[in-house]
Structure 1
Amino acid sequence: MCYPISSRQAPLALALLLASGAALADKTDIVELLNGDRVTCEIKQLQRGRLKVSTDSMGTIEIEWKDIARVTSKELYVAELEDGTRVDGTLVANPGERQLLLDHDGERHAVDMAAVIWLDPLKLDEVIIKRWDGSISVGFDTTKANHDTSITASFDARRRAEDFLLNFAGSVYSRSQDDVEDSLRASFSAVYKGLLEDRWYWAGLGGIDRNDELGIDMRALAGAGMGRFLVQSGRSLWSLTGGLDAINEQRAGEESNESNIEVFLNTDFEFFTYDTPKTTLTTGLTIYPSLTESGRVRSDLSFSWRQELITDLFVELSLYDSYDSDPPAEGEKNDYGIVTSLGYTF
């Protein structure tokens, strides 16, 4: 049975029709699995061996890239390969399995899907937060004997785009104990990497931190340099960065601030599994030889093991060591510790 639409209802009906049509149009991509199954969806992003897609019936899901035979989409995407090559175009139907075919104004490029480590739409999402990945975590530990209590909290947020990487990270570690002065370790950092050819990048970095154990009430840092991804695949990332930085420190027990120029050398390695439950291992080392304070060398070493418990919820074990060859009179040369925490990824 049909019902007539009045002139007053017509604009509303037309708006609803257009909205529903747009919503349906978003779900026109096709993902075909090696077992023959087909998923009609909107392709969101490939990262760390998993393709994120949005579906009408199952919501947003992740599919292991190694299980996909081919993908098709009328939208423009940019794909990055293990060697750093970036290719953009629409995703054209390809009769061969495990081959990604991109069409850019009639020029087609076929690439081995096993070599593709990242895939992202060129269009911008209407909600900026959807373009970010990250996590938050908290930890608490206490002992009755000496009322030793420690609290930790941390976060990180990452944005990967066609030509840059942006990362923010922060952490706070507080410890209190009977008959011992409370100790605080806090840091915030930002790193921007402008992506170049052949896995090279230029980097800009900044940060601010405090470390009571090392006798640093406040340290601000800003620097720039060059780096390269030595390894990038669906399971691991290894980068090496070097450059110059300037620091300004307020040392415990000293009235005036002290400024220095340093060289920095950094290496980061990350290994991740995409099978459920996910596991991520990360380690990083940064060395800061001073150019203006003869003989002084600082370093930061970190390691973390993160294990997924259920979807988006994880437990993490972290180790850290900070070293300063010439600390303030009230500080130690080393600050190290082990932290356990529970967190959530987004």
Structure 2
Amino acid sequence: MIDRTSPTQATIAKKCKRDGALTCAVTCIILLSVLVLLVPLHAAAAKNDFVWLVNGDRITCDIKTLERGRLRVSTDSMGTVQLEWDDIVRMSSADEYIIELTHGERFLGSLVDSGQDGQLRVMLAGGEVLLNMADVVWIDPVKEGTLTDLWDGHVSVGLDYTKANNSSTFSGSFGARRRAEDFQVGISATAFLRSQDGASDSRRANLEIEYRRLLLQRRFWALVGLLERNDELGIDLRSLAGAGYGRFLVQTNRSLWSATAGAAVVNEQRAGDEAGENQIEAYLNTRHEYFLYHSPKTTLNTNLTLFPSLTDPGRLRGNLGFYLRRELVSDLFLELRLYGSYDNEPPEEGGKSDYGLITSLGYSF
């Protein structure tokens, strides 16, 4: 009888059986997200909105959202498309939207054609306001949308195999985010699995969820949850729950830069016979995102987090993440990811640092 199970499926199944629960869970999240993307989600809506472009064209559509310098609209002939905010000169819609400016001020109202390029007229409950479109960084409809209207995200996968030493490497990442009027949610997961004849397997995986309660003047409260495994650092499972207060230092249609400070409770299950421990750590994070949507679309993201221990003075941990993402064809991208972790007082079976460089292919939605 011929075994029709592919080598890739057999490898992943074998690893899930051997690896820890966190590594397997993160891998499943990444792979299942690929299947979800194959299921189309559609919602019928009347196309009564209008968008005027800098070249003079007028598009009849249903205006969805503006975020990170791109306006998402739904059309009858082209489906859902992304328009660069710099290419739009006027808009109109009878629906109500929440509009946010670079300095954090928000307005609620419908959009009326201003008749002036570069100006956005918003009809409020008690009057109207004329806004400079260059100052607008976020637009979201009050009405509910579909799942794909509410969430943006990506999934990427990399797989390498070398026959000479029977070495195989799997890497994957998944991310999703949602922005509403008064909150922001982000979910991210990464997994790295490596096996080789004559060497111990290496596993690195993490799952992070962050909730931000948005306040006035670009400030926010943050709740953070993190699960992490890292064989190189001697960590079987690290669980973290924390809270902090932060601010968007920069908020434009080309970049976002935020800083957060707070505290977290951490539980570490260490490799080997070393006993686990609970700690309280400070939480210091800064994140910068830069996005360029002229072809090819490019995104750069840098995320640095420091964890000075409050219960074990002198101990310092840190995580650094960076990725460069460039679009190859519509929504399909090539990703270069750099990661690094540091602990000046690691477990007995772990090292002080772990770092790596990963390339993968991915899809954004």
**TM-score, scaled relative to structure 1:** 0.91
Residue 226 of structure 1 aligns with an amino acid whose one-letter code is Y
Structure 2: distance between partners of 1:76 and 1:335:
49
How many angstroms does 1:211 deviate by?
0.4
Distance 1:90 1:337, change over 3 A: same
Residue number in structure 2 paired with 1:52: 72
Structure 2: distance between partners of 1:140 and 1:63:
33
Counterpart of 1:67 (choices 76, 87, 94) is 87
Q: Which runs of 4+ in 1 moved over 6 A?
A: none
Range that drifts further, 181-190 or 140-149: 140-149
Residue number in structure 1 paired with 2:137: 117
Structure 2: distance between partners of 1:338 and 1:35:
42
Counterpart of 1:222 (choices 241, 258, 263) is 241
Residue 303 of structure 2 aligns with an amino acid whose one-letter code is G
Residue number in structure 1 paired with 2:313: 294
Structure 2: distance between partners of 1:255 and 1:62:
52
Residue 33 of structure 1 aligns with an amino acid whose one-letter code is L
Structure 2: distance between partners of 1:30 and 1:129:
21
Structure 1: distance between partners of 2:77 and 2:356:
46
RMSD in angstroms over aligned alpha carbons?
Answer: 1.4
Residue 190 of structure 1 aligns with an amino acid whose one-letter code is I
Distance 1:283 1:35, change over 3 A: same
Counterpart of 2:120 (choices 77, 100, 107) is 100
Aligned pairs for 1:88-167 within 5 A: 88-125=108-145, 127-167=146-186
Q: Is the 8 A contact 1:48 1:274 kept in 2?
A: no
Unaligned runs of 5+ in 2: 1-42
Structure 1: distance between partners of 2:77 and 2:205:
44
Identity %: 54
Unaligned runs of 5+ in 1: 1-21
How many angstroms does 1:257 deviate by?
2.4
Counterpart of 1:202 (choices 221, 228, 248) is 221
**TM-score, scaled relative to structure 2:** 0.86
Q: Is the 8 A contact 2:64 2:149 kept in 1?
A: no
Range that drifts further, 101-110 or 69-78: 101-110
Structure 1: distance between partners of 2:330 and 2:201:
36
How many angstroms does 1:294 deviate by?
2.1
Residue number in structure 2 paired with 1:19: none
Structure 2: distance between partners of 1:85 and 1:205:
26
Q: Is the 8 A contact 2:274 2:348 kept in 1?
A: no
- What's the CA shift string for 1:196-242, capped at 9, x where partnerless? 11110010000111000000000100000001010011111111001
Aligned pairs for 1:175-186 within 5 A: 175-186=194-205
- What's the CA shift string for 1:120-159, capped at 9, x where partnerless? 101111x334310000110112334433321111100100
Which structure has the larger Rg over C-alpha atoms?
A: 1
Structure 2: distance between partners of 1:142 and 1:128:
36
**2:217 alignment partner, SS class:** helix
**1:130 alignment partner, SS class:** helix
Structure 1: distance between partners of 2:321 and 2:266:
21
Structure 2: distance between partners of 1:171 and 1:161:
25
How many angstroms does 1:37 deviate by?
1.2
Residue 321 of structure 2 aligns with an amino acid whose one-letter code is S
Aligned pairs for 1:231-250 within 5 A: 231-250=250-269
**2:156 alignment partner, SS class:** strand
Structure 2: distance between partners of 1:280 and 1:101:
31
Structure 1: distance between partners of 2:103 and 2:92:
23
